[in-house]
Each structure stands twice: as structure tokens, then as C-alpha cells.
Amino acid sequence: MKYQHRALPTLAKKFPEGIFAILVYGPDAGHVSETVKKLVGGAVTDPKDPFSITEVDAQTIKQDPTFVTDSALAFSMSGERKLIRIRNATDIMVPIIETILQFETIEANIILDAGNLDTRSKLRTLFENNEKLGSFACYGDQGSSLKNLINEIFKENDVSAEEGVLDYLQAHLGNDRQHTVNELKKLALMVGPGGRLSLEETIDSIGDAGLLALEDVAYFTGSGNLETLCLSLQRAEDSGQSPITILRTVINHFQRLHSITTKTEEGASLEATIKNLRPPVFWSRKKEFERQARAWTTGKLELALERFFAGELQCKTTGIPQMALCCQVLIGVCLMRPYNKT
């Protein structure tokens, strides 16, 4: 069954009755990590107690498929239900979970985390459609969820903001929950309790070279300009941005383009659709964003997104240098060069 994130505060207090395993997945690793941490807190009394939690990577389970089944069925000596924490779950977990489902009595709760799983994922399908299993999808904070997160952190720290600050933050944050929270707390600490954040201060703090380089990578990938893409990739790497962060920034940009083209191809006005996009496109990027929205078709964007997600998975699992994989994927999409439109 699918869980909405509004159920998380309740589940963070107590693991749900009748559910023995929950899958947390999505492209936002920070959001996945935060959700898992809260679920773990509701599943065991002391998350730091090594006797309460068994942690294992899915690739390790591949070498010993019976490990999870044996652990889930073994009686707990402490009297509290054990927790099995499985990292980097993939479809290899499907037959294992299906085997456990056949038993009437299960002695452990299981929490699995995974990267982005599309609708073809057998693992995601299993967890979304079985009443004894639960799933949380964790995507980057966008629109109202990002706005609420910003307001929540500012309120907690007694910080207000000038006009334009919220729009700027919505346009430049949201790809990764943990990064977003860290940046907002940094701003709150900078002005202090009772302080008022100016747009200039926000741009100086958030709009650093690394973040601007990330934006450049996303826009130059969409522009088909290979030379400028390579330069921006080098700047992003030099500023310490990880290949995963780079890919997620580009994924977010292409997802926003996709949300526009799906509407315009049905007859909606491009200008009106972009105007209603949340978070809004920052004014200095608006002209180029419009140009890309006219140039890319929905089909091409979906193909590009498939390549990005596959590239992120390869970065995490193959052992090949991540930056080399990241560059290969971005250059490949850049060379799709759909610019027969203006």
C-alpha cells in the first residue's frame, strides 16, 4: 500500500500494525534518508542498539538470499520486534519478500531504502499492491511542499524574509531534502533569531559558485551546447559537487520541462504554463527555459530522464568512476540536440 507523507509523524511514533515491511524510495536521497530515520525511530525503542537492528546491503543479500528470511522468522530474545534495515534495495528482494509473506507469523519489521524506482519496478509494484507491505515515494521538494518546508524552518528559527526571497529559494533549492534543510538553517543562523533575510544576502549565500555551476550544467545539457556543458561540468566538479548531485539537478530541470511539455502538447499556452510553474523559473533563466520547452518534446524528455536515472544507478552500483559515468550520460543527452525549433 502507498503511504502519504502526512502519515509519517504517526509512523515515527509506532510502526504500523499489520504491516511488516516498508519500502522508502525515490531520487531525493536526503528525503529517503530522513524518512527512513523517522520510521526506524518508530520501529525500535533504541535505534542505536545493535541487538535491535540488523543492517545489511541488498548486494550482500544477493550472496546469501536466505539471510533475511531466517532473520525475519527467528524469535526475538528481547521481547521487542527486531528491525531489519536493508539498504540499496532492488528487484532482487522481490522473491525474498514474497517468501516471507507466505508465513503466518513474522518476528521482525523490515525497512528497505532504494533509489528511484519507476513504475516498471517489480519491487515497487509488490509494495504498493500488498496490504501487508507499505511504501513511501520521496521526490525532491517542489511547489507547496518546498514552500512549507522553507516557512517551517524560518518559523522555528524566528526568521522573516523580504519580498523575492521565497521565490529565489524555491527556484534554487529542493533537489535534495538534506541539502535544502542545511542551506535554510545556514541562512537562519546568519541573520539570527528575529532577523529579516534580504534577497541580496540570500543570493550571496545560496547562489555560490557551486550551485550556479550546477544550474549551468542543467541548462547547458538541455541547450545542446556541448562546449559550454563541458566547461560547466568542470566548474561543478572543481567546486566540490558530487556526480550524484549533478545528475539530480539535471533530472529536476528535465522533470520541470516535462511538466510543461505535457501540458503544451495538449494545447495549453506555453507562457501561462511556465508562469504557473512552482517553484517559479528565476527571471535570469526564463528566456532559455522557454526556448528549451519549445524545443524538447515529451517523448525526448522521457528518453533523457530514463538515461539520467540509469546513469545514477550505475554510479551507485558499478564501481566505475562516478564523474566519468555522469559526464557520459549528460553528453549523450546533450548530443540529442533537439534544436530544430526556436
Tell whether 33 is covered by a domain.
yes
The position carrying cell 534580504 is 198
In a domain, 342, yes or no: no
Same domain, 247 and 172: no
Which DSSP state fits 2? B
Domain end call among 187, 206, 225: 206
Write out residues in the chain with pLDDT < 70, as ranges: 78, 140-143, 175, 207-211, 338-342
Boundary (domain end) residue, out of 174, 206, 238: 206
> Which cell numbers hold the place of 113?
531504502
Instruction: Tell me how far apart the alpha carbons of residues 108 and 69 are, in angstroms, rounded to a whole number.
Output: 10
pLDDT, position 340: 45
Task: Report the CATH number at residue 188.
Answer: 1.10.8
> Could you tell me the CA-to-CA distances from 184 to 29, 117, 202, 239, 327 in Å, in that order?
18, 28, 10, 20, 30
The answer to the question of residue 341 being in a domain is no
Q: What confidence score (pLDDT) does residue 46 get?
A: 85
Residues 319 and 222 in one domain: yes
> Which of 41, 2, 36 minimizes the C-alpha distance to 19?
2
Tell me, yes or no, whether 36 and 67 share the same domain. yes
123 shares its domain with 152: no
Percent of the chain that is helix, strand, coil (3-state, to 5): 60, 10, 30
Are 182 and 264 members of one domain? no
Residue at 278 is within a domain: yes
Asked if 133 and 15 sit in the same domain, the reply is yes
> Is the separation of the CB atoms in 97 and 126 below 8 Å?
yes
Same-domain check for residues 217 and 330: yes
Q: Residue 97 domain-assigned? A: yes
Number of domains in the chain: 3
Residue 340 lies inside a defined structural domain of this protein: no
pLDDT at 100: 94
C-alpha cell at 145: 511542499
Residues 6+ apart with CB under 8 A from 70: none
- Domain match, 30 and 110 both: yes
Query: Which pLDDT does position 210 carry in this prediction?
Result: 59
Final residue in a domain of this structure, among 180, 206, 232:
206
Q: Are residues 33 and 96 in the same domain?
A: yes
224-230: Cβ within 8 A, 24+ apart:
224/334, 224/335, 224/336, 224/337, 224/338, 224/339, 225/334, 226/331, 226/334, 226/335, 229/330, 229/331, 229/334, 230/327, 230/331
pLDDT score, position 342: 43
pLDDT value, residue 208: 54
Q: What is the CATH number of the domain that holds 59?
A: 3.40.50.300
Q: Which residues of 18-39 are buried (b: 16+ CB within 10 A; e: fewer)?
A: ebbbbbbbbbbbbbbbbbbebb
Domain containing residue 125: 5-137
CATH number, residue 308: 1.20.272.10
pLDDT computed for residue 209 by the predictor: 55
Both 177 and 215 in one domain: the answer is: no
Phi-psi region of 162 (alpha: psi -120 to 50; beta: other; left: phi over 0): beta
Taking the model in full, what pTM does it have? 0.55
Note whether 11 and 118 are same-domain residues.
Answer: yes
Please report, to the nearest 10 degrees, the dihedral formed by the alpha carbons of residues 203, 205, 209, 210 taken in order.
Answer: -120
Residues 76, 193, single domain; the answer is: no
